[in-house]
Amino acid sequence: MNQRLFWWSAVAALAVFSYLYSLGGMHIPATGDEGPYLQITRLTAATGHWLPLQPVEGLGVTKPPLLFWQGMAATNWGQSWDLWRLRLPIVMYSFLTALLVFWVTRRISGDNESSAIAGLAFLGFTAIFHHGRPFITNLPEVLFLSCAFFLPVLYRGKSISRSYLFWMGIGVLVGLAAWVRSIFMLAPVGLALSIYLLWQRRWSITAFLRMDALRLAVFTLSALAVFGLWFVIDPDPGAIVREFLLGENVAKLKHEGYWQNFFSGPYPVWGVWLGSFRNAGFLALPLLYVTITSLRHWRAQRHEEQALWIWVLAFIIVFTLPAQRQDSYVMATMPAIAVILGLHWREIPRVWFYLFTLPLIAIFAGLVYLMLPISQQVLPAGAYAPWHYLAPFGGLALALLALLYNKWAKQLFLPLIFLAFLSLASIMAPLEGPLGRYDAQTISAAAGKTVYVPSNFRAQYERYRFLLPGAEIRSYEEGDNATRDRLLAAGELVVMDVAPGAKTFAPYRLLGMRLTVRSRLPQEDVNKVLYERRMELLFRQEVLLKLEREVPVALEQEAPPATASRKHDPALSFLQPQKTRVKKVQAHPKVDAKTLASHTSVLRNKPENEAGRKANIGNS
């Protein structure tokens, strides 16, 4: 037993390393929400006040303030603006939730090994790795909501569970989750607790109303009271109702063609019904086996395990109703899923791990297939350090070993998942160094100046503040060549992408360049990468250009103060709210078509894929 605990402790260290490695990087798995959240945090910190939140252009108040306050505190009110500082608290939420899973499993089973497996399984879920590192709201919400259900289940027989103070505390936990995400998270938690308590009363509504209804009322009022504090302290509570409650939340219940798109369309119901399996990632097949065997032996299950399935069911019921359905909406069920996996992990027959290991072998083989030609065709010699090859090649070797010596498969499966996470980071590692960053000379040249960067989603250009610290970052729509050319002709500093290897940019002066990854590829380029091994198609060279001889085409005008209104003016799409004087880009009479064409002819050689660009924007 001691050897096993030592093994799982080593796996836990590997898991922690995989979560922290390259945490401040530009290429970690992330979501489109991180950019807007970063911008809200930065703009609010710049005001010197906790409230009101400074909204992203065109979005308004999209989330409660707790995440943004956390970011402001972590960066010393924006004075230490660093991705590592912003993301580290989110990773801490992930680790705390894994410890919560360990504790709950230990309380249920009394077995340390099962508890360790459950905690590691939670960190091994692909969705947790994807959402539990970027600066977004999911993991704080998962921690608070899971605590709100686990505590009544584990303390159901204790006198404290009958205390109104206990249920006020449960309401405070849900209120904290509401301060991170939305007060509508009260719905699935309230439904789960109601079903659980009614089940405890053997479905007697009379007994439920007599013994539990008042406690649930205290819980509900406590959650609403905590969330309601936002309205009390915010200078503009009307904007919360208008933009957050109605615009961000209630609007998701309204959708044309609701029933026509129930099983199809962009948000089908399968996203919620099968969301736990999608969130599990590499653990989806073990989860499927455990789910089938667990439900087949429902009566033989522990009381706590049956309660955890009630928790999962409540989320599925509630989030089936909105027109917008995503697997991330049921992410709060993943700690419960991890507990169930931990309880049954050692009961899974070894033979099943032949099947479970195959997806990991495919991933490792695919990463090796990409890594070798990338190092030969795209990156300079020595870009990959020897240890960068360790994770993908070592993972592939261990996965094959798990197939050959099946008795080790159960112990190797979870560390293989963390090696897969590290393998992806290893492939991106050269781009987190000098190859993927602007050098000090470029940063110095851009400091204090306005730099226009391409963006295909709201506030995605925020990441350039980490690449070009000290520069004023504004955006133009990715693929809008006319605006880009007009900015270049005006003598502005403009970031754009060109094919890797491009060297000549006359009549523009090259201020800096870096190598980065294309966000999405059209199917034609995907086929070329897979079948022709054209690895250069995975990358793009990003350059910072400026016209050698400036042509004055930008007019300066007054902009309204940032705090004057929360409403977005479409005419000011390039403006940053904290500035009082900004430049509005427009064509100037002195720049005729012939002059503009002569300045931008070199840009015509850049390959464009219009269909891919539109697909990129649409998917975002």
Q: Point out which residues pair with 343 in neighbouring strands.
A: none
Total Cβ atoms within 10 A of residue 207:
14
Highest mean pLDDT among 79-93, 363-377, 462-476 belongs to 79-93
Q: What is the C-alpha to C-alpha distance for residues 476 and 579, in angstroms, rounded to an integer?
A: 18
Q: What is the C-alpha to C-alpha distance for residues 89 and 12, in angstroms, rounded to an integer?
A: 19
Q: What DSSP letter does each residue of 93-141 carry, written as one string?
A: HHHHHHHHHHHHHHHHH--HHHHHHHHHHHHHSHHHHHHSSSSSSHHHH
Mark residue 255 as left, alpha or beta (left: phi above 0; alpha: psi -120 to 50; beta: remaining). Answer: beta
46-77 confidence digits (pLDDT tens): 999 999 888 776 666 678 999 999 999 999 99
Instruction: Report the pLDDT value the prediction gives residue 555, as an integer from 0 to 100.
Output: 34
Instruction: Report the pLDDT value the prediction gives residue 547, as an integer from 0 to 100.
Output: 86
* pLDDT for 602 beyond 60: no
Give counts: helices (H), strands (E), the chain: 26, 7
Q: Point out which residues pair with 444 in neighbouring strands.
A: none
Q: What is the C-alpha to C-alpha distance for residues 442 and 359, in angstroms, rounded to an integer?
A: 43
CA 414 to each of CA 29, 126, 318, 387, 409: distance values in angstroms, whole numbers, following the listed order: 19, 12, 31, 21, 9
pLDDT classification of 600: cutoffs 50, 70, 90: very low
pLDDT classification of 166: cutoffs 50, 70, 90: very high
Share of the chain above pLDDT 70, in %: 85
The mean per-residue pLDDT over the stretch 253-259 comes to 66
The structure tokens listed for 230 are 């936002």
Contact 58, 242 (CB under 8 A): no
Pairing of strands 493-498, 539-547: antiparallel
Contact 171, 218 (CB under 8 A): yes
Q: What is the C-alpha to C-alpha distance for residues 490 and 479, in angstroms, rounded to an integer?
A: 18
User: Long-range contacts for 175-178 (Cβ within 8 Å, ≥24 apart)?
Assistant: 175/222, 175/223, 175/224, 175/225, 175/226, 175/227, 176/66, 176/140, 176/144, 176/226, 177/140, 177/141, 177/144, 177/145, 177/148, 178/64, 178/223, 178/226, 178/227
Select the more confidently predicted residue: 565 or 348: 348
pLDDT classification of 243: cutoffs 50, 70, 90: confident
Instruction: Report the pLDDT value the prediction gives residue 523, as an integer from 0 to 100.
Output: 82
Residue type, 105: T
Angle (CA) 138 141 147, round 5°: 140
17-32 confidence digits (pLDDT tens): 999 999 999 989 888 8
The structure tokens listed for 397 are 């070797």
77-115 confidence digits (pLDDT tens): 999 999 999 999 999 999 999 999 999 999 999 999 999
Angle (CA) 449 496 383, round 5°: 100
536 secondary structure, DSSP code: G
Maximal C-alpha separation, the chain: 84
Which of 209-223, 402-416, 546-560, 563-577 has the weakest average pLDDT? 563-577
Instruction: Report the pLDDT value the prediction gives residue 254, as an integer from 0 to 100.
Output: 63
pLDDT classification of 536: cutoffs 50, 70, 90: confident
pLDDT classification of 256: cutoffs 50, 70, 90: low
Exposed e or buried b for every residue in 136-154, given b needs 16+ CB within 10 A?
bbbbbbbbbbbbbbbbbbb
Instruction: Report the pLDDT value the prediction gives residue 500, as an integer from 0 to 100.
Output: 73
The mean per-residue pLDDT over the stretch 243-251 comes to 72
Instruction: Report the pLDDT value the prediction gives residue 158, as an integer from 0 to 100.
Output: 86
212 secondary structure, DSSP code: T
CA 7 to each of CA 1, 412, 414, 415, 423: distance values in angstroms, whole numbers, following the listed order: 10, 10, 11, 10, 21
Residue for token digits 């925020």? 462
* pLDDT for 270 beyond 90: no
The mean per-residue pLDDT over the stretch 438-453 comes to 93
Instruction: Report the pLDDT value the prediction gives residue 604, as an integer from 0 to 100.
Output: 43
Instruction: Report the pLDDT value the prediction gives residue 22, as an integer from 0 to 100.
Output: 92
Give Cβ neighbours of residue 315 (< 8 Å, ≥ 6 apart). Answer: 188, 192, 272, 329, 330, 332, 333
Q: Is the peptide bond before 152 cis (omega within 30 degrees of 0)?
A: no
Instruction: Report the pLDDT value the prediction gives residue 252, as an integer from 0 to 100.
Output: 64
Instruction: Report the pLDDT value the prediction gives residue 251, as an integer from 0 to 100.
Output: 63
Q: What is the C-alpha to C-alpha distance for residues 79 and 77, in angstroms, rounded to an integer?
A: 6
CA 321 to each of CA 272, 301, 315: distance values in angstroms, whole numbers, following the listed order: 10, 30, 10
Instruction: Report the pLDDT value the prediction gives residue 520, as an integer from 0 to 100.
Output: 72
| Residue 231 half-sphere exposure toward CB, CA atoms < 13 A | 13
- pTM strictly above 0.75: yes
Q: What is the C-alpha to C-alpha distance for residues 379 and 302, in angstroms, rounded to an integer?
A: 55
Of residues 404, 292, 393, 384, the one with CA closest to residue 344 = 292
Domain ranges of the chain: 82-347, 352-432, 439-553+588-619
Taking each helix axis from N to C end, the angle separating 138-154 and 334-344, rounded to the nearest 10 degrees, works out to 60
User: How many residues in the chain?
Assistant: 620
Instruction: Report the pLDDT value the prediction gives residue 79, as an integer from 0 to 100.
Output: 92
Exposed e or buried b for every residue in 91-118, given b needs 16+ CB within 10 A?
bebbbebbebbbbbbbebbebebbbbbb
Return the sign of the alpha-carbon dihedral for residues 330, 420, 355, 398: negative
* pLDDT for 568 beyond 90: no
Residue type, 228: G
Which of 122-136, 237-251, 416-430, 485-499 has the weakest average pLDDT? 237-251
pLDDT classification of 501: cutoffs 50, 70, 90: confident
* pLDDT for 450 beyond 90: yes
308-362 confidence digits (pLDDT tens): 999 999 999 999 988 777 888 999 999 999 999 999 999 999 889 999 999 999 9
Instruction: Report the pLDDT value the prediction gives residue 310, as an integer from 0 to 100.
Output: 96
Start-to-end C-alpha separation, the chain: 49
Residue for token digits 């204790």? 158
Instruction: Report the pLDDT value the prediction gives residue 443, as an integer from 0 to 100.
Output: 94
Total Cβ atoms within 10 A of residue 536:
17
* pLDDT for 124 beyond 50: yes
Exposed e or buried b for every residue in 162-183, given b needs 16+ CB within 10 A?
eeeebbbbbbbbbbbbbbbbbb
* pLDDT for 12 beyond 70: yes
* pLDDT for 584 beyond 90: no
* pLDDT for 551 beyond 50: no
H or E stretch including 208? helix 205-211
Instruction: Report the pLDDT value the prediction gives residue 281, as an integer from 0 to 100.
Output: 93
Q: DSSP 3-state assignment of 308?
A: helix
Share of the chain above pLDDT 90, in %: 55
Mean pLDDT of the chain: 84
Instruction: Report the pLDDT value the prediction gives residue 161, as an integer from 0 to 100.
Output: 84
Give Cβ neighbours of residue 94 (< 8 Å, ≥ 6 apart). Answer: 19, 123, 128, 132, 133, 139
Contact 568, 58 (CB under 8 A): yes
